[in-house]
Amino acid sequence: MRRNRKIAAAALAVVVLLGGGFIYWAVTAASNGDANVPTIASTSTPATPTSTPTPTQTPEPTQTAEPTPTETQPPASALNITDPNSVTVLVNKKTPLAPADYAPADLVAMSDIGVPSANGHSLRSEAATAVQTMFAAASAEAGLTLDMTSGYRDYGLQTELYNGYVADLGQEAADLTSARPGYSEHQTGLAADISSQGEGCVLEQCFAATAGGQWLAANAHRFGFILRFPDGATATTGYEFEPWHYRYVGTDTSAAMQAAGVTTYEEFLGAPAAPGY
């Protein structure tokens, strides 16, 4: 019957597509083969060829056409975590940017896209648009006016900041608060320090208890952001709890991390902990 042939054809297309994606992920993962590439991913690959529905298992065509989102997410090992231009690049105290003085080429000033930013902060284009969308959602859904307190910082500015902290606090305390130049996520143009107008606690841990801090913790993943330095994870991230520091990784990765139920990016990637330099 024509109908059965159509179903079979649709199912075959799904098999080919999923199979192709699997091969792509495998190839990409292989090309990343260095010490930072996680080893857990092969077991967590969501869509394996064996799980692909066969024509005999799918009486309704609609069931073959709609794989759930978790079945389409690539494994963590497929993420490019070494290229500084990748939105999923890993930067921590064990993993500096390469080159150390990397500067993104697609910075957008937040004020140019209507996001309040007193000091002219900027982010890479994709992250800037995501902040804009997230702030609009916070306003519409919770009546919050979020603010970007800090965004992209170049190598030179990070050097000044870090040296200032060292002078004030000593190197050990400075390292818990400020990244050394070349090791800061702010230098990627993908990290935003966020505050909530009228709620205080700007760049302070009490931000976690504000309405803005709580909304972000619950919703940032919807817009491709992760809370990069969560509470109680200093041994993994190398930083104290920073409820204001959000890192853009893209919605595929933020959703996968949310689904995996892990709190740190290192853990999600299967990367080594980075408590110190």
Question: Residue 147, interface with Zn ion (CB under 5 A)?
Answer: no
Between 199 and 242, CB nearer to Zn ion:
242
Stretch that binds Zn ion, among 82-90, 152-160, 210-218, 245-253 (CB under 5 A): 245-253
Stretch that binds Zn ion, among 42-50, 165-173, 186-194, 250-258 (CB under 5 A): 186-194
Least Å distance, CB 194 to Zn ion, is 9
Stretch that binds Zn ion, among 33-41, 79-87, 188-196, 246-254 (CB under 5 A): 188-196
The four Cα atoms 227, 232, 236, 241 give a dihedral, to 10 degrees, of 50
Least Å distance, CB 127 to Zn ion, is 13
For residues 49 and 93, give the distance between their C-alpha atoms in angstroms, rounded to a whole number. Answer: 38
Q: Helix, strand, or coil here: 95?
A: strand
Count residues contacting Zn ion (CB under 5 A)? 2
The four Cα atoms 200, 189, 276, 208 give a dihedral, to 10 degrees, of 20
Q: Are 47 and 68 in contact (CB under 8 A)?
A: no
Place of tokens 């330095």: 229
Question: Residue 247, interface with Zn ion (CB under 5 A)?
Answer: no
Least Å distance, CB 64 to Zn ion, is 45
State the chain's maximal CA–CA distance in angstroms.
80
Question: Residue 153, interface with Zn ion (CB under 5 A)?
Answer: no
Least Å distance, CB 16 to Zn ion, is 44
Between 52 and 122, CB nearer to Zn ion:
122
Phi, psi values for residue 221, rounded to 5°: -60, -25
Least Å distance, CB 46 to Zn ion, is 31
Question: Residue 245, interface with Zn ion (CB under 5 A)?
Answer: yes
Between 193 and 199, CB nearer to Zn ion:
193
CB atoms within 10 A of CB 70: 12
Stretch that binds Zn ion, among 19-27, 117-125, 193-201, 269-277 (CB under 5 A): 193-201
Between 180 and 245, CB nearer to Zn ion:
245
Q: Are 274 and 229 in contact (CB under 8 A)?
A: no
Least Å distance, CB 197 to Zn ion, is 18
Question: Residue 193, interface with Zn ion (CB under 5 A)?
Answer: yes
Between 121 and 245, CB nearer to Zn ion:
245
Alpha helices in 117-239 (DSSP H): 125-142, 155-169, 171-177, 211-219, 234-237
How far is CA 48 from its chain centroid? Answer: 24
Q: Among 110, 92, 98, 39, which Cα is nearest to 228's?
A: 92
The four Cα atoms 137, 262, 247, 207 give a dihedral, to 10 degrees, of 70
Contact positions toward Zn ion, by CB under 5 A? 193, 245
